[in-house]
Amino acid sequence: MKTLQAFSWIFLLGCAASLGACDAEQPLPQCTVGRGEHAVRYTLVSGIGSCAAKRAEKLGAQIFRTPGSGEPPSLVFKPGPFAANEGKDPAHPVLSTGNFTTEYPSKDEVCEVPTLSEARQFVAQATGTPVDVRYQWSNVRVQGSSAIPGTQWIADLTYSEDDCTATYVAVGLFPALKCERTEVRNGQNVVVRDPAICSLPRPSLSIDPAFPTLCDEGTNLCVLDGEPPALLPQP
């Protein structure tokens, strides 16, 4: 039975924010991924129709490993749109799962998962006719350096809605945060889009300030600006 490997965000923030403290000669950490919600930015490669309109969304991720076994861990993805559908279509899997090829990152500091199982759900619509939604992930490359231990990744996605299919390049960032704040206007709470929030420290989980980010206009999610490995120039 594989047990969950906890993720240490405190180590990440201290290491990547001050790269000089992370000796390039020290051993790389084991392959891992930030446990929790990731913000995923999609770039369309091919496809038309409703399935070709994805911009950004949240994705749950975590790893499982057998401690002391020396075996590569397994990676689990839960698409954000499926979270609310869990239990409503028990005949199909909510999760995508796959195995890392190695326990530790490669020489170029990348951990690879060649393919994950398909996640599929029939999602009810307002019209009453459910839509057959499928996620097929492949070529997942998770950053495994001391500065970026499992908090940036890139992958290929084949996404389907009934007979409509599109392919994307997906770029993930951990943790998933909203670039929004609440203001009081005329006695009412109003949600305001604020890209600066992506780089602000938070009392709990924060996006590493060394990561370049954008505030996605369609979802107000803080997403990675560029492709992994992405770090801001250090002074």
pLDDT for 26: 64
Mean of the pLDDT values across residues 158-172? Answer: 98
pLDDT for 126: 84
Residue 188 has pLDDT above 90, yes or no: no
AA identity, residue 195: P
AA identity, residue 33: V
Task: Flag whether 26 is in a domain.
Answer: yes
The reply to whether omega before 90 is within 30° of 0 (cis) is no
The tens digit of pLDDT for each residue in 17-28 reads 444 444 445 667
The tens digit of pLDDT for each residue in 83-103 reads 989 999 999 999 999 999 999
Instruction: Return the SS3 of 48.
Output: coil
Instruction: Report d(CA 95, CA 82) in Å as an integer.
Output: 9
| Number of domains the chain contains | 1
- Residue 25 lies in domain: 3-176
Task: Flag whether 85 is in a domain.
Answer: yes
pTM of the model as a whole = 0.86
Mean of the pLDDT values across residues 35-58? Answer: 97
Q: Higher confidence at residue 205 or residue 141?
A: 141
Task: Flag whether 90 is in a domain.
Answer: yes
Task: Flag whether 79 is in a domain.
Answer: yes
Task: Flag whether 68 is in a domain.
Answer: yes
Task: Flag whether 82 is in a domain.
Answer: yes
Instruction: Return the SS3 of 22.
Output: coil
pLDDT band at residue 186, thresholds of 50, 70 and 90?
A: confident
Beta-strand ranges (E) seen in 105-203 are 110-115, 119-123, 131-144, 149-161, 164-173, 180-185, 188-193
> Do residues 222 and 39 touch, judged by C-beta distance below 8 A?
yes
The tens digit of pLDDT for each residue in 123-161 reads 998 888 899 999 999 999 999 999 999 999 999 999 999
Contacts with 45 (C-beta within 8 Å, 6 or more apart), sequence order: 156, 166, 167, 168, 169
> Do residues 160 and 51 touch, judged by C-beta distance below 8 A?
yes
Task: Flag whether 97 is in a domain.
Answer: yes
Mean of the pLDDT values across residues 109-113? Answer: 98
Task: Flag whether 198 is in a domain.
Answer: no
